[in-house]
Amino acid sequence: MGKFRPGMVTPLLAAVLAVSVTACGGGGGDGAGAGASSGAAQPAEKIKLTVALFSDFHFAPLYEEFKKTHPNVEIIERRSQFNDHHKNLTTQVATGSGAADVEAVEAGYIATFTPLADRFYDLNEYGLGKRQSDYLDWKWKQGLSADGGKLLGLGTDVGGLAMCYRTDLFKKAGLPTDRDEVSKLWPTWEAYMEAGKKFVAAKVSGAKWFDGPGENFRAMVDQAPVGFYDEQNNLIAATNPDVKKAFDLNAQMIQADESAKLAAFSPPWNTGLTKGSFATIICPSWKTGSIKDAAPTTAGKWDVAAVPGGGGGNQGGTHLMAPKQGKHPKEAAELIDLLTSKDAQLKLFTDAGALPSIPALYDDPTITGFKNDFFNDAPTGKIFTDAAKALRPQHVGPKASDVLTAFGNALQRIEQGKQSPQDAWAQAVKDLDRIK
């Protein structure tokens, strides 16, 4: 569900889904319903709640659960492309018009909205503050206002990193296919690049080593102790040696002809998934669901190995927030509560690969014993919970999405032969000055 990407990326095609759901007063989740009730609908009043998402979160069955306690609510779910969703929300919050009752905000954008506490309902006022003990501490803090006093969003999932790979393409290239042996190929990102050179040398028809550099670049940066911003929200990307190292390594892989030059979640990328246009893909937990949704005919051709660089890192993850433009904050808060509850997060992992942001679930047998048949029965429950436990949370600054876009565009210019790596880096650094 978390899908923070460079600006050149186009996620799943836009769609609109309307699901009728119940409502009558009463709480539907772990803690909503207590506290303030300003704006709550009367028991017999028919109301509509709009939920704005940037992909299929697989929420539809949960809406049906909500209707059991809320028989008079109709839920209208609207979806738009990832970048459009967040850009639209930025405009809607600024103008005070057009936002949904419940908005999904991805990890790369959360720091853009939490300083705007006066534009969102404080979920503490609707009893959701008592959910704090459920959450990973850093995930909870991401949803707080800048001063820490207001709860603006509840987390759905976290990323947790691994590497998905095509066993059929590995076999054609003469590389091992067993997930443990594959993990040994790349203890470091440099080793991952060297394995890619072997794949390229094998000349597997129609296939490159990875889809495109944007996701790999972000994963490398995410594994560093400090990323684009320091704890004081100073933009340090241009001087952070870990950012430069990640950029240079991806430039080298581009020049080694390892990239399929496909922007993640674009229509050509979806086609490439099915056709086998690339052999590896950086794979946070939620992306296993994205691959399955986009390329259902490739079931059994995929497997999951460890991520290069020794694990750690978080790519993606989402919070649900309630803009003050909504007229029914009590019901919106109750819906957020249900959609982020323990039961919901457990279900969304098994259904869509969304790794819970509730650490108690990491020891739940439903997750620890879960094997994903689409990915050759890979023990994704253990793989991703181990990754989550190794995760070292990184501070995300207020314009991290714009920073990633600048570097993603620079890498794309190298792919297109428009700039050398040195010139592309220099332009990206200049672009950062405009972001400040």
Give me the DSSP letters along 304-343.
Answer: EEPPTTTS-----EEEEE-BTT-S-HHHHHHHHHHHTSHH
Q: What would the DSSP string read from start to end of 381-397?
A: HHHHHHHHHH-------
pLDDT at 18 over 80: no
**Looking at the domain covering 163-313+371-435, what would its CATH class be?**
alpha beta
Q: What is the pLDDT of residues 316-335, one digit of tens each?
A: 899 999 999 999 999 999 99
- Reported as a pLDDT band with limits 50, 70 and 90, residue 43 is low
Question: Is 395 buried (19+), middle (13-18) or exposed (0-12) by CB count in 10 A?
Answer: middle
pLDDT bracket for residue 164 (50, 70, 90): very high
| φ, ψ of residue 323 in degrees (nearest 5) | -60, 150
pLDDT band at 41 (very low <50, low <70, confident <90, very high): low
CATH code 3.40.190.10 region(s) in the chain: 16-158+316-356, 163-313+371-435
In 152-265, which ranges are continuous DSSP H helix? 167-172, 179-185, 189-201, 213-223, 241-255
- Say yes or no to pLDDT of 24 above 50: no
* pLDDT exceeds cutoff 80 at 31: no
Question: What pLDDT, on the 0 to 100 scale, is given for residue 391?
Answer: 77
Do the beta carbons of residue 280 and residue 165 sit within 8 Å?
Answer: yes
What pLDDT sits at residue 6?
Answer: 37
| Pairing between β-strand 278-282 and β-strand 208-210 as defined by DSSP bridges | parallel
Which band of pLDDT confidence, cut at 50, 70 and 90, is reported for residue 388? confident
pLDDT of 64 strictly over 70: yes
Predicted confidence band of residue 57 (pLDDT cuts 50, 70, 90): very high
Are 50 and 100 contacting, i.e. CB atoms less than 8 angstroms apart?
yes
Looking at per-residue pLDDT, the higher value among 13 and 365 belongs to 365
Q: Does the pLDDT value for residue 10 go beyond 50?
A: no
The order of strands in the sheet holding 302-305 is 208-210, 278-282, 163-166, 302-305
- Give the residue, 218 or 45, on which the prediction is more confident: 218
**How does pLDDT run across 227-251, given as a tens digit for each residue?**
999 999 999 999 999 999 999 999 9
Would you state the pLDDT for residue 34?
37
- Residues 172, 65: Cα–Cα separation, whole Å: 47
Tokens of 159: 């990323």
114/347 Cα distance (integer angstroms): 28
Taking 60 as the threshold, does the pLDDT of residue 405 lie above it? yes
CA 142/CA 110 separation, integer angstroms: 7
**Cβ-contact 288, 128 below 8 angstroms:** no
Against a cut of 0.85, is the pTM above it?
no
Fold of 16-158+316-356: D-Maltodextrin-Binding Protein; domain 2 (3.40.190)
Summarised one tens digit per residue, pLDDT across range 347-369 is 999 999 999 999 999 999 999 99
- Extract long-range pairs of 59-64: CB within 8 Å, 24+ residues apart: 59/339, 60/17, 60/19, 61/347, 61/351, 62/338, 62/339, 62/344, 62/347, 63/19, 63/21, 64/19, 64/21
Q: Give the pLDDT score at 265.
A: 86
